[in-house]
Amino acid sequence: MALVSITRLRLRSWRFLPMFVWYVLRSSRQAARAEGNLAATLLRERRNTFWTSTIWTSEAAMKKFMTSGAHGKAMRKLVEWCDEAAVVHWTQESAELPSWAEAHQRLQKDGRRSKVNHPYEGHRAYEFPAPPVNPRGELQFR
């Protein structure tokens, strides 16, 4: 069994983008080397919105990555930087990343909002559009 983790977040201002990109680069290197990480992808969407899709061998491996290193530091900043944030996890037999359409469906159906200090109306309502699938906006970490 593999653990899938999907996140979606939206930066509330362009002024956070340079530091966010710096953390993305550091976190992507961390994810590529993380024990138990089978695959990791980032999708950039319009309006400073970002999706991640990762697969892990276990929940423990995912949590270790999530709370440590560059990713752990970035997570502590996102509560202030973001006006929307959501996460969903599930297990599946396959070690393949889900499609972005499935990620959106699972996030809407089974996901939860993450804490943000400046929530946007979409965050409060827990409604957001499906991500456009644009291969040019997708980065594979592993």
pLDDT tens digits, 23-82 = 999 999 999 999 999 999 999 998 899 999 999 999 999 999 999 999 999 999 999 999
Identify the pLDDT of residue 6.
97
pLDDT over threshold 80, residue 139: no
Which distant-in-sequence residues (6+ apart) come within 8 Å of 47 by Cβ? 10
Separation of alpha carbons 132 and 110, rounded Å: 20
pLDDT over threshold 80, residue 141: no
Query: Domains in the chain: how many in total?
Result: 1
Separation of alpha carbons 130 and 128, rounded Å: 7
CATH number at residue 74: 3.30.70.100
What are the pLDDT digits (tens) for 96-136?
Answer: 999 999 999 999 999 999 999 999 988 888 988 888 876 66
- In the numeric block, the tokens 């409604």 are attached to 127
The reported pTM is 0.93
Whether 58 contacts 3, CB under 8 Å: yes
Identify the pLDDT of residue 86.
97
Task: Look at 142 and 20; give whichever has higher pLDDT.
Answer: 20
* Eight-state DSSP code of residue 38: E
pLDDT over threshold 80, residue 21: yes
* Eight-state DSSP code of residue 58: -
Percent of the chain with pLDDT over 90: 81
pLDDT band for position 10 (cuts 50, 70, 90) = very high
Whether 40 contacts 91, CB under 8 Å: no
Residue 84's domain comprises 2-140
CA nearest neighbour of 103 among 59, 25, 45 = 45
Identify the pLDDT of residue 135.
61
Separation of alpha carbons 40 and 28, rounded Å: 8
Which distant-in-sequence residues (6+ apart) come within 8 Å of 33 by Cβ? none
Token pair of 39, please?
């695959």
